[in-house]
């Protein structure tokens, strides 16, 4: 085999070295690449990490020190540190480091330790005697009930007046004694004028409750005063009507009047917690004349009153009021014959109390 002349060998080595240098100069360029021509440096390698695509120098090999775009911006205003001025510990992970905080952990640990400690004086265990004292054995019918006997005495009117016909005093009282179903009722009224007792009456009645609001009463009545005494039988009803009207209707049987019926009604209007207005109405009808007592047959008389009281206590109340009384028919005639008027109006003042 013939050897290649040295001159040809040098020429071949020179050409090979030139091609290698040319390829190294254009290494990385891809003329047939589909990358848009808008970025001529898109395929260059760079020694820096891959940056944002908006950077025009992405992919270029940087010969100087690596810097960021932030170095070319004006210096930023430092953010206000909310903990500035506080002594911060080395551990930056604590958001509240440096603050003078109360030692809650030690307090909680102390309370927990105190709670778990054994008390100085332990609660003694329950004994049989303790259980027996707390839960005694109940005997049948051993419960104590309130007394079934009660009483009430009410002076509804105790008053005086002074008018053109003279001065006088009157009273109206009632009371009961007993239980919720059966009671003894006492009712009395009277009038005093011209320095002597002109008339009075007293009823003693047995009352039996027939409903929560009504009683049936029966008993005796005695009348006294200027005329001779008169005792009669009595029967009636009394109670609380709708709208809180206190009503009593009583019939008396016997004597010269044969039958006499009296109806009373009153109402308490609460104007304030202590100021009470009390209207009253009373009427009487007799079946026959009783001239000795100035009572005629038919509608004999009617009386209307209006009293305003102030309850100093619930048991005691002074009052002022106005009362108008009128007589009708045979009763008016008998009073005219005796020199008395058929009408009478008067201002009154008195007290109301109960016990």
Concatenate the DSSP letters of all residues of 166-200 into one string: EEEEEEEEEEEEE-SSEEEEEEEEEEEETTEEEEE
Over range 5-17, report the average pLDDT. 58
What is the Cα–Cα distance from 249 to 189, expressed in whole angstroms?
A: 15
What is the Cα–Cα distance from 285 to 266, expressed in whole angstroms?
19
Asked if residue 106 is part of any domain, the answer here is: no
Arithmetic mean of pLDDT over the chain: 77
Q: Is residue 318 part of a domain?
A: yes
> 174 or 55: which carries more pLDDT confidence?
174
For the segment 296-304, the average pLDDT, to the nearest whole number, is 95
CB count within 10 Å of CB 291 equals 13
CA-based nearest residue to 157, from 125, 189, 180, 186:
189
State whether the Cα torsion 315-178-253-266 is positive or negative.
positive
Residue 198 belongs to a domain: yes
Q: How many domains does the chain have?
A: 1
3-state secondary structure 211-233: CCCEEEEEEEEEEEECCCCEEEE
The answer to the question of residue 345 being in a domain is yes
- pLDDT recorded at residue 298: 94
Q: Which residues of 143-157 are buried (b: 16+ CB within 10 A; e: fewer)?
A: eeeeeeeeeeeebbb
Q: Tell me how far apart the alpha carbons of residues 301 and 286 are, in angstroms, rounded to a whole number.
A: 10
Task: Among 5-19, 46-60, 292-306, name the one with the lowest average pLDDT.
Answer: 46-60
Per-residue pLDDT of 199-253, as tens digits, reads 899 999 999 999 999 999 999 999 998 778 899 999 999 999 999 999 999 999 9
User: Would 101 be classed as within a structural domain?
Assistant: no
What is the span of the domain harbouring residue 227? 150-159+167-354
pLDDT in tens, 302-340: 999 999 999 999 999 999 999 999 999 999 999 898 888
Contact 191, 158 (CB under 8 A): no
- 352: Cβ contacts below 8 Å, ≥ 6 apart: 154, 155, 156, 157, 158, 309, 316, 317, 318, 319
* Residue 95 within any structural domain of the chain: no
Domain with residue 242: its CATH number is 2.40.160.40
Regarding pTM above 0.75, the answer is no
Q: Is residue 274 included in any domain, yes or no?
A: yes
pLDDT band at 25 (very low <50, low <70, confident <90, very high): very low
Would residue 188 count as lying in a domain?
yes
């Amino acid at each position: 085999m013939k050897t290649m002349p040295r001159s040809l060998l040098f020429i071949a080595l020179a050409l090979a070295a030139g091609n290698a240098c040319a390829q190294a100069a254009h290494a990385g360029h891809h003329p047939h690449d589909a990358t848009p021509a808008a970025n001529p440096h898109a395929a260059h390698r760079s020694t820096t990490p891959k940056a944002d695509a908006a950077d025009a120098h992405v992919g270029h090999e940087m010969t100087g020190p690596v810097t960021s775009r932030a170095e070319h911006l004006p210096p930023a205003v430092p953010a206000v540190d909310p903990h500035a001025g506080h002594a911060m510990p080395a551990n930056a992970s604590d958001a509240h480091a440096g603050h003078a905080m109360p030692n809650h952990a030690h307090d909680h640990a102390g309370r927990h330790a105190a709670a778990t400690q054994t008390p100085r004086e332990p609660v003694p265990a329950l004994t049989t005697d303790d259980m027996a004292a707390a839960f005694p054995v109940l005997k049948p019918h051993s419960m104590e009930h309130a007394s079934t006997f009660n009483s009430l005495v009410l002076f509804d009117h105790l008053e005086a007046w002074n008018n053109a016909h003279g001065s006088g005093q009157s009273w109206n009282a009632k009371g009961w004694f007993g239980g919720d179903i059966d009671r003894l009722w006492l009712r009395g009224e009277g009038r005093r004028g011209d320095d002597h007792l002109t008339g009075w009456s007293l009823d003693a009645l047995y009352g039996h409750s027939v409903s929560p609001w009504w009683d049936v009463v029966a008993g005796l009545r005695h009348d006294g005063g200027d005329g001779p005494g008169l005792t009669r039988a009595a029967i009636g009803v009394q109670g609380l009507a709708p709208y809180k009207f206190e009503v009593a209707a009583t019939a008396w049987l016997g004597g010269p009047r044969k039958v006499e019926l009296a109806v009373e009604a009153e109402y308490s209007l609460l104007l304030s917690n202590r100021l009470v207005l009390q209207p009253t109405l009373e009427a009487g009808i007799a079946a026959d004349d009783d001239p000795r007592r100035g009572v005629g047959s038919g509608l004999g008389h009617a009386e209307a009153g209006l009293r305003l009281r102030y309850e100093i206590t619930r048991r005691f109340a002074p009052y002022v009021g106005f009362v108008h009384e009128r007589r009708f028919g045979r009763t008016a005639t008998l009073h005219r014959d005796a020199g008395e008027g058929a009408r009478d109006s008067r201002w009154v003042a008195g007290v109301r109390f109960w016990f």
